Structure 1
Amino acid sequence: MAINWFPGHMVKTKREIKENLKLVDAVIEIRDARIPRASSNPEIEGLTQGKPRLILLNKSDLTDSKVTKEWIKMLTKDDVKAIEVNSLQGDGLKNIKPAVLSLLKEKHDRMKAKGLVNITTRVMVVGIPNVGKSTFINKMAKNNIAKTGDRPGVTKSKQWIKTSIGLELLDTPGILWPKFEDEEVALNLAFTGAIKDEIMDTEELAFKLVERLMKIAPEMLMTRYKLESLDEDPLENLNSIARKRGALISGGEINYNRIAAILLDEFRSGKIGKISLERP
């Protein structure tokens, strides 16, 4: 499945990130906890070089928590910390300020030694589309400053947001990279909705999702759709799910468009189960 998606505003975003980096003390990178590798833009590391980085594994309520903890261990290094959060419910957000302050400890100690007391910490928030960046900012600001939408690319212009915990956040539009060399990365992004469904063949995507879930979460797939067993053929399983859900057209033919929408929606909302698509 070839996916190639790089709208013009992504180029502009890259330029903005570079220009605004000098205004901030640290960077918060938001990733989807179900796909920490695929939801990390490989260009972010290069773009934000020299700035301490806090990685938020968002939507952690939808994952296998054991796998998420393994990711945190792997991602944490000298100038990078990782924590799990659920921006929608606010879980884990209280750990953000201590994590940012520990990353900036040396810098703040130097400032305090010079007699500076009221230190404002400014942080740039980056991430690919649809990882929950706007939801996170709204939760931190306790009001709807950033526009939210479950469609990628809703956030457009630069804005500073004051929070009640003494951090000022600079929002940036979501940024994807030009081409997906790795089909698995592309599929993981598509499964979780980081790539717009409008540009995807959702029927093929649903087939691929069934194929993946047969490998990593067969029991959950069977339980959710009340299947007694799984066929070796993903298409047969997709057909069985469609029949269970009544996604049929006249004459008992499968309505693939409808079952694709149901399956993708139920996976994305966690109804099939807590599933981590990637392991460290």
Structure 2
Amino acid sequence: MNIQWYPGHMTRAKRKLEEQLAWVDIVMELGDARLPLSSRNPLLKQLLGNKLRLLLLNKSDLADKKRIDQWLVKLGKEGPVLAISSMTNVGVKKIVPLLEELMTDKRERLAARGVRGRPIRVMVVGIPNIGKSTLINQLTGGSQAKTGNKPGVTRGNQWIRIHDKVELLDTPGMLWPKFDDPEVGRKLAVTGAVRDEVFDQEELAQWLLAWLKQNYPLELQSFYKLGENETDLEGIGRRRGCLVSGGRIDTFKAAQIFLREFRSGKIAKVTMD
């Protein structure tokens, strides 16, 4: 299965991002803690250049803590990184102090030119459905940004004031034109960054089942209360009552349920990279 998804609004988002980079002090990049590498847009490295950057691995409540701790050490060698959960608010209070720390040298340069008291201007970037809007709502204490449980909710850039210290520029979720590694596309699809309509959900569910059997077999069997040889779409469909006429299993419906339960972290806390 070769999954690709790059709708027209992402081309416009890339162009807009390039135009607005000059306005911001820091870029706050959101990645998925389940995909510390696969969820990071490779175009950003080229686009951002030497711009100050803070990497936030969101959805840490859905990730394998041991693996995430290892990734934090590795990625921390490249620059500041923090594991957070915009849904549970874990780590969110550390963000503004980190932004202020990153901004120290630039503030001194601005002060030397007579510019004092200006809020830190932060651009928020990331792939679709990564939780940018939910994070902004946590930071502002309200519903300043639109949220949704599907990719592509934010279509236009908008400035949002957190408080007197920080202004955020929200941007639409952006993928890249081609996933060179097919497995990256599959990982992005199973975690919800790609619209379900653009791929075969049964085929993807079969791939995810095989991946979980190899990496988290006990958690998978325990959740569905199925033996090793019974843990397939038929077995899951039987457990979830996905029956059609003649007592057959609706494997498409079983695949949809399986993907939904995986994405919510019910089956296991996983890190796929």
Q: TM-score, normalised by structure 2?
A: 0.95
Retained in 2: the 8 A contact 1:123–1:169?
Answer: yes
1:32 deviates by 0.9
Q: Distance in 1 between matches of 2:41 and 2:161?
A: 26
Aligned partner (choices 228, 253, 264) of residue 230 of structure 1: 228
1:153 deviates by 0.8
Q: Distance in 1 between matches of 2:47 and 2:149?
A: 26
Aligned partner (choices 242, 245, 253) of residue 237 of structure 2: 242
1:242 deviates by 1.8
Retained in 2: the 8 A contact 1:140–1:164?
Answer: no
Report the AA paired with residue 250 of structure 1.
S
Structure 1 vs Structure 2: percent identity of aligned residues? 47
**Aligned position for 1:33:** 33
Deviations along 1:235-277, one digit per CA (max 9) or x if unpaired, are: 9622222222222212221201110111011101111021111
Report the AA paired with residue 4 of structure 1.
Q
Report the AA paired with residue 86 of structure 1.
S
Q: Distance in 2 between matches of 1:45 and 1:133?
A: 19
Unaligned runs of 5+ in 1: none
**Aligned position for 2:131:** 132
1:116 deviates by 4.3
Report the AA paired with residue 38 of structure 2.
A
SS in 1 for 2:4: coil
1:119 deviates by 3.2
**Aligned position for 1:24:** 24
Q: Distance in 1 between matches of 2:54 and 2:92?
A: 12
Retained in 1: the 8 A contact 2:221–2:231?
Answer: no
1:164 deviates by 3.0
SS in 2 for 1:261: helix
Name the stretch that deviates more: 2-11 or 125-134.
2-11
Deviations along 1:14-69, one digit per CA (max 9) or x if unpaired, are: 11111100100000001111011111000011111111111110010011111111
Q: Distance in 2 between matches of 1:243 and 1:34?
A: 28
Asked if 1:108 is matched to 2:103, the reply is no
**Aligned position for 2:8:** 8
**Aligned position for 2:120:** 121
Q: 1:33 to 1:236 in 2, by over 3 A?
A: closer
Report the AA paired with residue 65 of structure 2.
S
Q: Distance in 2 between matches of 1:156 and 1:95?
A: 28
Q: Distance in 2 between matches of 1:66 and 1:105?
A: 32
**Aligned position for 1:201:** 200
Retained in 2: the 8 A contact 1:125–1:169?
Answer: yes
Q: 1:165 to 1:271 in 2, by over 3 A?
A: farther
Report the AA paired with residue 46 of structure 1.
Q
SS in 2 for 1:30: strand
Asked if 1:96 is matched to 2:91, the reply is no
Report the AA paired with residue 11 of structure 1.
T
Retained in 1: the 8 A contact 2:2–2:182?
Answer: yes
SS in 2 for 1:148: coil
Retained in 2: the 8 A contact 1:135–1:148?
Answer: yes
Name the stretch that deviates more: 53-62 or 138-147.
138-147
**Aligned position for 1:251:** 246
Retained in 2: the 8 A contact 1:62–1:274?
Answer: yes
Q: Distance in 1 between matches of 2:134 and 2:211?
A: 28
SS in 1 for 2:34: coil
Report the AA paired with residue 109 of structure 2.
R
Deviations along 1:54-102, one digit per CA (max 9) or x if unpaired, are: 1110010011111111111111246x31101111121111111122222
Q: Distance in 1 between matches of 2:8 and 2:256?
A: 28
**Equivalent residues, number:** 273
Deviations along 1:178-210, one digit per CA (max 9) or x if unpaired, are: 111111101100000100011121111111111
Could you list the structure 1 runs, at least 4 aligned residues long, displaced by more than 4 angstroms after superposition.
Answer: 113-116
Q: Distance in 2 between matches of 1:170 and 1:77?
A: 27
Q: Distance in 2 between matches of 1:113 and 1:268?
A: 49
Unaligned runs of 5+ in 2: none
SS in 1 for 2:176: coil
Q: Distance in 2 between matches of 1:134 and 1:73?
A: 27
Retained in 1: the 8 A contact 2:224–2:239?
Answer: yes
